[in-house]
A = this chain, B = another copy of it.
Amino acid sequence: MKRIILLIAVATVAGALAAPASQLANKEDAPIFVKTIPDGYRDWRLISVAREEGNLNDIRAILGNDVAMKAYREAKLPFPEGTIIARLAWSHDASEENNKTFGRAQSFVAGAVKNGVQFMVKDSKKYAATGGWGFAHFNDGKSADDTLLHTCFGCHQAVKDRDLVFTRYAP
């Protein structure tokens, strides 16, 4: 009996995962986090760059898919459906090679991938519970657990007037 219940549970979960977003939109089991890495994000265009000191201690790039880039360049808010913003980061490594050429210690370059890859995916229905954005964080291709992901929406409230997006476009 226990085994049958388990099988039904597995089938239900599998069904929910297979259901198109439109079917999930108004249900309580609607996903609030993004658990699949968007295809081809490393080829997206550059929105901006940033540097985090402290515990993060990285240098980062924020890329956008075509929908994101168009919205940024037209200063369109809120971001349209289908917008995806990616945050990549690497270790902030001193470059001995560059320093030698410059004749002084001043150069830092991107080293190994660090602090995971993050995404914000705009789908107002699917992610209605979190301001229309699905949040994602992947370490080595694996999604962070929901405990971490639950922290995203709260912090992004700080920039509610920019549709929850911190990064501004670098000209």
Contact = CB atoms under 8 A, between A and B. Distances in A.
A155 interface: yes
A124 to B, nearest CB: 23
A107 B50 CA distance: 8
The SS class assigned to the A binding surface is mixed
B110 A49 contact: yes
A166 to B, nearest CB: 6
Contacts of A36: none
Interface string A37-53: 00000111110111111
Contacts of A159: 97
Copies of this chain, count: 2
Interface residues of A, number: 44
Contacts of A61: 46, 49, 61, 170
Interface in A104-129: 104-110, 112-113
A98 B45 contact: no
Contacts of A79: none
A154 B42 CA distance: 33
21 contacts: A42-B46, A45-B45, A49-B49, A49-B60, A49-B61, A50-B59, A50-B95, A50-B108, A50-B109, A52-B107, A52-B108, A53-B107, A53-B108, A54-B104, A54-B106, A56-B106, A59-B59, A88-B170, A97-B158, A101-B158, A101-B166
Interface of A: 42-46, 48-54, 56, 59-61, 63, 69, 88, 90, 92, 95, 97-98, 100-102, 104-110, 112-113, 155, 158-159, 166-168, 170-171
Closest 3 pairs (CB-CB, A-B): A54-B106, A110-B170, A51-B108
